[in-house]
Amino acid sequence: MGLNIVDPNEFPDIEVKEISCKSALSLSGLEADYAINAYKGCSHGCLYCYAPFVIKENREWGTFVDIKRNIPAVLAKELRNKPKGSVRIGSVTDPYQKVEGRYQLTRMCLQQLKKADVHVILQTKSDLVVRDIDIFTDMDIDVGMTITSLDDNFRLKFEPEAPNVEVRLEAIKTLTDAGVNTWAFIGPLLPGQNDDMVMLEELAEKLNSSGVTEIYLDKLNMREGIWSRLEKSIDKDTIARYREIFSSGNDYFRRRKKDYEKIGKPVF
């Protein structure tokens, strides 16, 4: 399959390219046997995202998405030939980012996975996920929604292109009302930005009443390249404080763990 450049007017804010992939299922260390990422890049453009450092991507994160156009066909073949195992969708990209509305690669992969009867764990920040309720029904799947704060200013600052919190909460409720097993991920926690206990307890209350079965919390996964991106939105004093908190041996998160345990399961 050749490489196509998509009409730039269709997604004016990002560079979108259609590519072909050789493999769909990659071995995963993230609570599943395999991972599927139908897109390379993510238009949500979260400042704290560690994906570019995992996939060793040098292009500016949030400005491009490569579409693995042939992934449903490749996946169908691999599901026949590889050992059966659980699959995580969305480990280094959001499976329901903007382009999914048009390309529906996540939807097509889900159809294949449902047919193969494998356990699927999916994670997103987008309400587009409710589009696929018809597939989730009677499927062995846990759908996770990431919500980092109740304060939309946090979202605007750190996840500029992701849907707002109200929309995400509504999506969870729609899924659970339809009988889909849902969980929530609060993270990454950034000291002084979204780890205030009053806000977190209120958020947990809303998540629980939306029907999630589990709430997980995680701290910022600090990689060297993330500093330069965070510096765009955080003042110098906070950056200096973060350099201390995220240095080895610092016990900030160990001390806070007991607080976080009141509302969910810290995974750090």
For binding to ligand SF4 (CB under 6 A), which residues are involved? 42, 44-46, 49, 51, 93-94, 125, 159, 162
Distance in Å, CB of 232 to ligand SF4, minimum:
14
Minimum separation from the CB atom of position 47 to ligand SF4 (A): 9
| Of 143, 161, 1, the residue nearest 68 (C-alpha) | 1
Residue number with CB closer to ligand SF4 (53 or 246): 53
Q: How far is the CB of 84 from ligand SF4 (least distance, A)?
A: 27
- CB of residue 246 to ligand SF4, shortest distance in Å: 17
Q: How far apart are CA 167 and CA 96, in angstroms?
A: 14
Q: Which is nearer to ligand SF4, 57 or 259 (CB)?
A: 57
Nearer to ligand SF4, 45 or 72 (CB): 45
Shortest separation between residue 55's beta carbon and ligand SF4, angstroms:
10
Q: Provide, rounded to whole angstroms, the least separation between the CB of residue 139 and ligand SF4.
A: 23
Of the two residues 9 and 58, which places its CB atom closer to ligand SF4 in the complex?
A: 58
